[in-house]
Amino acid sequence: MPKDSPIQRRSAIDPAVAELLGTMEQKARDRSLPRDDRQRKIKEREKARARNRVMLDLPQEIEAQIKDLAKKHECPISQIAALLIWQGMQDLENGLLNPSEYKKPSRSPRYTWNLVFMEKFRNDKR
């Protein structure tokens, strides 16, 4: 293929091999750092690994409201979300919240029900 060809050849690297190479490169970079910086990076990585991260699919309106609350209360979004989830769990336990009211049959083979509540959410916001 000529050098000025618009077609670029992509190298196919197995994802596991790419991850291994990335890890090796990271270790090589770390070895070149001063000892104190190396120790700090190790602690940062351990702290990041210990975090409990969860990905959720949230409707945009709810995400926006959580962000607004976090901004209003000058705290991290994750802390406001955790507080709201905790409060919801308390309400559920105390009988103040009933998910059955929102259950609609799911077409997914994985789940029996979907909780459909966005229409009520939008109406309550008005």
Query: Residue 2 domain-assigned?
Result: no
Residue 1 predicted with pLDDT over 60: no
Which domain range does residue 19 map to? Answer: 15-50
Q: Are 104 and 116 in contact (CB under 8 A)?
A: yes
Q: Domain tally for the chain?
A: 2
End-to-end CA separation in angstroms for the chain: 63
Model-level pTM? 0.59
Q: In this structure, are 64 and 82 located in the same domain?
A: yes
Q: In this structure, are 74 and 114 located in the same domain?
A: yes
Q: Are 7 and 1 in contact (CB under 8 A)?
A: yes
Q: In this structure, are 87 and 108 located in the same domain?
A: yes
**pLDDT per residue over 61-103, tens digit each?**
999 999 999 999 999 999 999 999 999 999 999 999 999 999 9
Q: In this structure, are 65 and 112 located in the same domain?
A: yes
Q: Quick one: CA torsion of 83, 84, 88, 93, rounded to 10 degrees?
A: 10
